[in-house]
Each structure stands twice: as structure tokens, then as C-alpha cells.
Amino acid sequence: MKERILTKITHSQLQTEAFAEEIGTTLKGGECIELIADLGGGKTTFTRGLVRGTKSDDHVSSPTFTISKIYEAPQFLIHHFDFYRLNTPGLIAHELSEVAHDPKAVSIIEWGDVVKNSLPKKRVTITITTLDEDSRELTIQLPEEYSYILEGIDV
């Protein structure tokens, strides 16, 4: 599968949200997005901007205790997973697999390592590296079929 890669450095939470918001506006439904970063790296912050970009008014917070949350956008539902507290994939992995392969739903996954086998091969991977307290390097990796996500993105 051919891949595309884009890197962006942000210097504040607001810049990360604004960048994610731009990406959110390009979503059509059916995309699976995996977010990789350490604790406090900015995965939930990125999700907040992304969800805003889809024109959803729903409040984004870490689904740490519920593992998954659903936000409503005008064109599709967004399923936000956080597997930080999950040690072994169980029923939730099955739910994730269904949602992540649903051609209408958008899925966003934090701490997806434990459910790696349930993630579609065709997915967007966003890796966030902490450079210093307020700076982050965001690397977006996606298959050719998702290249519309990067069109018109300002880097």
C-alpha cells in the first residue's frame, strides 16, 4: 500500500487544535485514525480539534473510564476510543473492529496497541512527539486512498 507522510510542528495546544480542525473538515465518514503519543502528548487535544472540524458541537474529553465515546457530526458518527486501561482485548475489540470497518463511521483510537489486530490496515496514523512543554511534532501517515485528507492542509 502506497503511503503519504506529512509533518507539522505546533507550538501550542491551540495550534494543534487548529491543525486538527483543518483535517477534520476533510473527513467524509469511514476513516479510521490511530493516535500515537505518550501520556500528555496531545492525542485528546488533537481529537477535540478534529471533531470540531467535522462541525460536531459535542464536547470531547478522554474516554478513559468508559473506553469509548460517541460524538455526533452532521454527516456521520465519530467513535472515540481510549484503551489506556485495557490490558487484554475483549468484547470491546470486537466493537472496535466493527466500527473501524464501518464505511460511514469515523473512528479515533488512543492507545491502540492492545487492539492492534482489530485495527484496519487502511488507517491514518498520527504520531505526536513532545519536543518541549508547548511544542509537538505531528507526523501523519496515510494510505494513498486517504490523500484527500492532506489536500489543502497548510503546513
**Contacts to Mg ion by CB under 5 A:** 43-44, 62, 110
Residue 10 as a binder of ligand ADP (CB under 6 A): the answer is yes
Q: Give which of ligand ADP, Mg ion, none residue 134 binds (C-beta under 5 to 8 Å, depending on kind).
A: ligand ADP
For ligand ADP, what does the binding mask look like between residues 25 and 54, x meaning CB under 6 A?
------------x-xxxxxxx---------
> Would strands 68-72 and 77-82 be described as parallel, antiparallel, or unpaired?
antiparallel
41 DSSP assignment: S
What does the radius of gyration of the chain's CA atoms come to, in whole angstroms? 14
Measured CA angle at 41 (ends 85, 52), to 5 deg: 90
Q: Do the Cβ atoms of 31 and 106 come closer than 8 Å?
A: yes
With CB under 6 A as the rule, give the number of residues binding ligand ADP.
Answer: 18
Beta carbons within 8 Å of 55's beta carbon, 6+ residues apart: 73, 74
Could you say which residues in the range 91-130 bind ligand ADP, by CB under 6 A?
Answer: 110
Cα 93 to Cα 115: distance, rounded to the nearest angstrom: 6
Give the one residue of 3, 5, 7, 12 binding ligand ADP; rule: CB under 6 A: 12
In the bound complex, what is the minimum distance in angstroms from residue 106's beta carbon to ligand ADP? 17
Which residue ranges make up the site for ligand ADP (CB under 6 A)?
10-13, 15-16, 37, 39-45, 110, 134-136
